Chains A and B, each alone.
Chain A
Amino acid sequence: MIRYLTKRIILSIVTLLVLITATFLLMQLLPGDPFTGEKVIKPEILENMKEKYGLDKPLYIQYFNYLKNLLHGDLGDSLNFKNRSVNAIISESFKYSFELGLRALIFGIIGGLIIGIIASINRGKFLDSISIFIAVIGVSVPSFIIGAIIQYFLGYMFSAYLKEALGLTYNFFPITGWESFWHKLLPPFALGMSALASISRLMRSSMLEVLGLDYIKTAKAKGLTSKKVIFKHTIRNAIIPVITYLGPLTAMLLTGTFVIEQIFDIPGLGKHFVDSVRTNDYTLLSGLTIFYGAFLISAIVIVDILYGIIDPRIRLDGKKG
Chain B
Amino acid sequence: MGKRGEYNMDLANFDKITMNLEDKEQILRPSMGYWKDSFRRFKENKIAVVLTIYIIILFFGSILVPVFSSYSISDQELMKQNLSIGEEGHIFGTDGFGRDIFVRVWYGARISLFIAFVAAFVDLIIGVLYGGISGYFGGKVDQIMTRIIDVIQAIPFMIFAILLAAILEPGIFTIIIAYAILGWTNMARQVRGLVLQIKNQEYVLAARVLGANSRRIMYKHIFPNVIGIVVVTMTLTIPSAMFTEAFLSYIGLGVPLPQASWGTLASDAAGTFISYPSQLFIPAIFISLTILSFNLIGDALRDALDPKLRK
What residues make up the interface of A, taking CB atoms closer than 8 Å to B?
11-12, 14-15, 18-19, 22-23, 26-27, 29-31, 136-137, 139-142, 144-145, 148-149, 151-152, 156, 251, 255, 258-259, 262-263, 273-274, 276-278, 280, 282, 285, 289, 292-293, 296-297, 300
Contacts and interface: CB of A to CB of B under 8 A. Distances in A.
A289 B159 contact: yes
Interface string B150-165: 1100111111101111
A274 B266 contact: no
12 contacts: A23-B163, A29-B167, A136-B295, A139-B295, A140-B291, A144-B246, A144-B247, A145-B288, A148-B281, A152-B274, A251-B156, A289-B159
| Residue picked from A15, A31, A280, A297, most chain B C-beta under 10 Å | A15
B166 A30 contact: yes
A280 B266 CA distance: 25
A178 B167 CA distance: 31
Contacts of A156: 274
Contact of B154 (A22, A142, A282, A300): A300
B288 to A, nearest CB: 4
Contact of A277 (B147, B165, B266): B165
Nearest to A23: B163
Contacts of B239: 140
A296 B156 contact: yes
B154 A140 contact: no
B251 interface: yes
A263 B270 contact: yes
A293 B156 contact: yes
B65 to A, nearest CB: 23
Given A27-B167, A136-B296, A145-B266, 12 more contacts: A18-B155, A30-B167, A31-B169, A140-B292, A141-B292, A142-B287, A145-B284, A259-B247, A262-B251, A280-B166, A285-B166, A293-B159
A151 B269 CA distance: 14
Contact of B247 (A142, A276, A293): A142
Nearest to A11: B150
A285 B291 CA distance: 30
A282 B291 CA distance: 34
B39 interface: no
A138 to B, nearest CB: 11
B253 interface: yes
A137 B285 CA distance: 11
B242 to A, nearest CB: 9
B243 interface: yes
A212 B252 CA distance: 49
A285 B163 contact: yes
Interface of B: 147, 150-151, 154-160, 162-167, 169, 239, 243, 246-247, 250-253, 266, 270, 273-274, 277, 280-281, 284, 287-288, 291-292, 295-296
Contacts of A278: 252
B71 to A, nearest CB: 25
Contacts of B253: 274, 277
Given A18-B155, A136-B296, A26 B251 contact: no
Contact of B167 (A26, A151, A293): A26
Contact of B277 (A18, A152, A259, A297): A152
Contacts of B163: 23, 26, 285, 289
B151 A14 contact: yes
B85 to A, nearest CB: 16
Contacts of A142: 243, 246-247, 250, 287-288, 291
A274 B246 contact: no
Contacts of B266: 144-145, 148
A171 B126 CA distance: 51
A278 B253 CA distance: 9
Nearest to B269: A148
A14 B163 CA distance: 20
A19 B287 contact: no
A23 B157 CA distance: 13
| Residue picked from B151, B157, B165, B295, most chain A C-beta under 10 Å | B151
A22 B151 CA distance: 12
B52 to A, nearest CB: 16
Contacts of B157: 255
Contacts of B165: 277
B185 to A, nearest CB: 12
Nearest to A258: B251
A153 B112 CA distance: 27
B238 to A, nearest CB: 12
Contacts of A255: 156-159
A292 B295 contact: no
Contacts of B169: 31
B288 A140 contact: yes
A139 B299 CA distance: 13
A112 B145 CA distance: 36
Q: For the complex of A and B, list the 10 residue pairs with the smallest distance between their C-beta atoms, beginning with the closest.
A: A140-B292, A277-B166, A15-B154, A255-B158, A145-B284, A141-B288, A140-B291, A15-B151, A296-B156, A144-B250
B158 A258 contact: yes
